[in-house]
Amino acid sequence: MPRRSPTPVHFAKKAGEAPFHVRRGFTLLELCIVLFILALLAGAALPAMDSAFTEQGLRNDAHQFSMMVKTGMIQSGEQNRPYELDLTDKAISLQPVPSPETAATPFASAADTPDLSLTHPDQEPDPAPVLEDVTMNLNLTNGFELPDAKKKNAWEAVTAEHWIFQPGDLCPLPRVRLVRGKAWIEMSFNPLTGNVEDEAAYIP
């Protein structure tokens, strides 16, 4: 019996539709439209991202600066010697005041150390306390400002400022404004504890 050839299968398609074996891609116009929309979205998101980065950087600087103020007050009281905070338009640094008179502490020298062997032969005298210098540094992007003494509600950029934290004394500090571009953060401090009492910010 002769073998019959297979019947060809025909796929139906709608009028105007491309054949099933043809794959239609994107046209140049469609690609240009997509790229244009992506560019618009990126342009709208960039200012918001820049503002967020600026705010985050300012708040980090403000947090570190407030920690330096509080640390200076605490260390001056605990170590019984003054600490100094140097502010410039580029950086802020905290360190103890390098003065032999202010750095002197009880039992700091061998002559001041009592001879305990006369009353306690088996007990060695206590070693002289060693003060560990606490230093902190903060690099600034645009510097800082202080209230203008000549104009009310005005601020002036300062290139150098020097604060001293004396042990056991109140430290009334001026209000400070950290600046980054057009954005800023203002802070005022408690003269007893060094904590931030008031804060205001402007982030364009």
Tokens of 175: 């209000």
Whether residue 146 lies inside any domain: the answer is yes
- Show the 3-state SS of the chain: CCCCCCCCCCCCCCCCCCCCCCCCCCCHHHHHHHHHHHHHHHHHHHHHHHHHHHHHHHHHHHHHHHHHHHHHHHHHHHHCCCEEEEEECCEEEEEECCCHHHHCCCCCCCCCCCCHHHCCCCCCCCCCCCCCCCCEEEECCCCEEEECCCCCCCEEEECEEEEEECCCCCCCCCCEEEEECCEEEEEEECCCCCCEEEEEEECC
d(CA 134, CA 83): 9
Q: Is residue 138 part of a domain?
A: yes
- Residue 39 counted as domain residue: yes
- Domain count for the chain, please give it: 1
In a domain, 183, yes or no: yes
Residue 50 lies in a domain: yes
pLDDT tens by residue, 38-91: 888 877 766 777 788 888 888 898 999 999 999 999 999 898 999 999 988 888
Q: Are 109 and 130 in contact (CB under 8 A)?
A: no
CATH, residue 174 = 3.55.40
In a domain, 119, yes or no: no
Instruction: For residue 88, give both structure tokens.
Output: 């410039």
Angle CA(153)–CA(156)–CA(160) in degrees, nearest 5? 140
For residue 106, the model assigns a pLDDT of 42
Asked if pLDDT for residue 203 goes beyond 80, the answer is yes
48 in any annotated domain: yes
pLDDT digits (tens, 9 = 90+) for 147-181: 887 888 889 888 888 899 999 888 888 899 998 88
Structure token digits, residue 53: 């980065």
Residue 30 has pLDDT above 60, yes or no: yes
What's the predicted TM-score (pTM) here?
A: 0.64
Q: Is residue 104 part of a domain?
A: no
Strand order in the sheet with 91-96: 136-139, 91-96, 83-88, 160-165
Q: What's the rounded mean pLDDT across residues 172-197?
A: 90
- Range of 78's domain? 33-99+131-202
